[in-house]
Structure 1
């Protein structure tokens, strides 16, 4: 995801439809790997898991005993994660299911506010966050968009690549061709994302060039930003490229929005972990590499039309 607690920084069902389910579901919990055994921790159980899951023995003992990895997400980013028929679905839950087969544990997803995910990971509420979160130095070091220390940084295991996209109301009534055309116009965006930062950076470029600043309207959730664009209250919205593309294809049967221009500022999405949780971080990297190698990674991306974000190898803190 391109800004702050992320991407972000900085996604199959329509995200428009997802908002109602999210409002009702709130702290919805969904099991990503329901066929795995839950809880336990006895030696015989661990031995059985280790025999069937190649990386189980490398997990922290706490995760082995719990039989699960608690995942924080913001489920309104189809095709990456959204709510469909009361369940969290998408690229990330399906990748988590594939990872669970390597690790021998289930991934339990809980949907909450995007800009609170990193804090929730560092507080221990979640083991990881997986929600189209852009990996960048700002988040790694716990800095705000001005370089001021906000709190603890986090580590990332990078598993996908995406850039920022501009989407507009179908027909593009204000003739927006790219982010540079937003000077003096209103743009809608979700608060705490990397693309909110992208708008702020562009607005400064506008004023430096003696043009009017961008009127940036930031919302708690992205569905509100979409509604603002659809109503004509904003000339454009800014989002991750795969999310914007999915939105243009599916919202109102493809009649609500369109994407203008190409994606830019492409960067990695990462699984977020506390810097104290290096043992889990390292085995998750191994698991991502394993599902890339066995083909299950590509199958998930193909299923959701997210092939453009495929990577060849996982990385730790690969964002800039």
Structure 2
């Protein structure tokens, strides 16, 4: 996808706090079900530092130390955060993961699958972690759906970035949309299982409460389909993570397909999702995120992608609301 929940739900799922300007190319469901397909791609990273030199290698679980690899699930359709280019999965999250791998002395190998199946696949043991612009929310932590029903064990998050929800429209903004509130009585397109789908649902309820018509929400399996719907005029707007929406507006059709309207809303943290039973890995990742923040690597990565405004000062575990 050219752009992306909160990859990747909370009624305002926004995979988050503002990533101000995205200068270069590049939102999940609470534990949802969904088939996934191995992409056959890994991160394309350079070899990680050897375990003998990596400062945090000993913090990893024994099985990962032995394997020398962390299996990571993602939905590589959210430029600039994670997307496919030249047969490889690349993006902000991939560069951050590679830097974490240097600290941990292991290689991150990414597989792309459906966003709304990432948590289920993680808890089934297919992945060691999921890293896909996923907004850290209490619902995901506890494995609940948007009505509070228990769907699974939930996950722990290691927060490493922040962003918010943004509305994008066809270039020229033919319907004069200025904010998410202007979508009452309109058709909006979104990726299924994302926090921004939840944001639209919450706004639709607010519309009817105020005596306006509800939003006709069209949810798609992937964000590319949602973008196509907006581009064709079938939907007046799409909703996405702010950095993804900005990148989409800059890149699609040479910048002539879409534009972002209004300010980003519902800012919150992106987190690396880890099985709740894997406390060692969670702790190791927290230490690694803090290490790359402290040594300046983190800043260099965000600068490379123009994602500086998404920076955090310190990693957190389960910091989402």
Give the aligned CA root-mean-square deviation in angstroms. 1.8
Task: Report the 3-state secondary structure (helix = DSSP H, G, I; strand = E; otherwise coil) of the residue aligned with 1:199.
Answer: helix
The alignment status of 1:35 with 2:36, answered yes or no, reads no
**Deviation at 1:31?**
3.5
Q: Distance in 1 between matches of 2:282 and 2:122?
A: 13
Instruction: Check whether the contact 1:33–1:96 (CA below 8 A) recurs between aligned residues.
Output: no
1:123 matched to which residue of 2?
124
Bigger Rg over Cα: 1
Instruction: Check whether the contact 1:32–1:107 (CA below 8 A) recurs between aligned residues.
Output: no
**Deviation at 1:35?**
1.1
Task: Report the 3-state secondary structure (helix = DSSP H, G, I; strand = E; otherwise coil) of the residue aligned with 2:52.
Answer: helix
Write the mapping of 1:245-284 to structure 2, written as runs, cut at 5 A: 245-284=246-285
Task: Report the 3-state secondary structure (helix = DSSP H, G, I; strand = E; otherwise coil) of the residue aligned with 1:52.
Answer: coil
Structure 1 runs of 4+ with >6 Å offset:
none
Q: Distance in 2 between matches of 1:306 and 1:120?
A: 29
1:216 matched to which residue of 2?
217
More off after superposition, 144-153 vs 109-118: 144-153
Q: Distance in 2 between matches of 1:30 and 1:309?
A: 25
1:174 matched to which residue of 2?
175
**Deviation at 1:210?**
1.1
Q: Distance in 2 between matches of 1:104 and 1:50?
A: 4
TM-score by length of 2: 0.89
**Deviation at 1:271?**
0.2
Q: Distance in 2 between matches of 1:262 and 1:31?
A: 32
Q: Distance in 1 between matches of 2:75 and 2:40?
A: 10
Superimposed CA distance per residue, residues 175-234 of structure 1 (whole angstroms, 9 cap, x where no aligned partner): 100000000000000000000000000000111111111000000000000000011110
Cα 1:284/1:138, change in 2 over 3 Å: same
**Deviation at 1:305?**
1.1
**Runs of 5+ unmatched residues, structure 2:** 17-21, 27-36
**Runs of 5+ unmatched residues, structure 1:** 15-24, 38-48
1:52 matched to which residue of 2?
53
**Deviation at 1:9?**
5.6
The alignment status of 1:201 with 2:202, answered yes or no, reads yes
Q: Distance in 1 between matches of 2:48 and 2:241?
A: 32
**Deviation at 1:151?**
1.1
2:316 matched to which residue of 1?
315
Superimposed CA distance per residue, residues 110-140 of structure 1 (whole angstroms, 9 cap, x where no aligned partner): 0000000000110010000000000010000
**Deviation at 1:13?**
4.8
The alignment status of 1:112 with 2:113, answered yes or no, reads yes
How many residues align? The count is 298
Larger % of helix: which? 1
2:30 matched to which residue of 1?
none
**Deviation at 1:33?**
3.5
TM-score by length of 1: 0.90
Write the mapping of 1:30-179 to structure 2, written as runs, cut at 5 A: 30-36=42-48, 49-179=50-180
Superimposed CA distance per residue, residues 126-175 of structure 1 (whole angstroms, 9 cap, x where no aligned partner): 00000000001000000001111111110000000000000000000011
Write the mapping of 1:296-315 to structure 2, written as runs, cut at 5 A: 296-315=297-316
Instruction: Check whether the contact 2:138–2:320 (CA below 8 A) recurs between aligned residues.
Output: yes
Instruction: Check whether the contact 1:166–1:239 (CA below 8 A) recurs between aligned residues.
Output: yes
Instruction: Check whether the contact 1:177–1:261 (CA below 8 A) recurs between aligned residues.
Output: yes
Instruction: Check whether the contact 1:27–1:112 (CA below 8 A) recurs between aligned residues.
Output: yes
Q: Distance in 1 between matches of 2:118 and 2:44?
A: 18
Q: Distance in 2 between matches of 1:141 and 1:208?
A: 29
Q: Distance in 1 between matches of 2:134 and 2:40?
A: 19
Cα 1:311/1:13, change in 2 over 3 Å: closer
**Deviation at 1:27?**
2.0
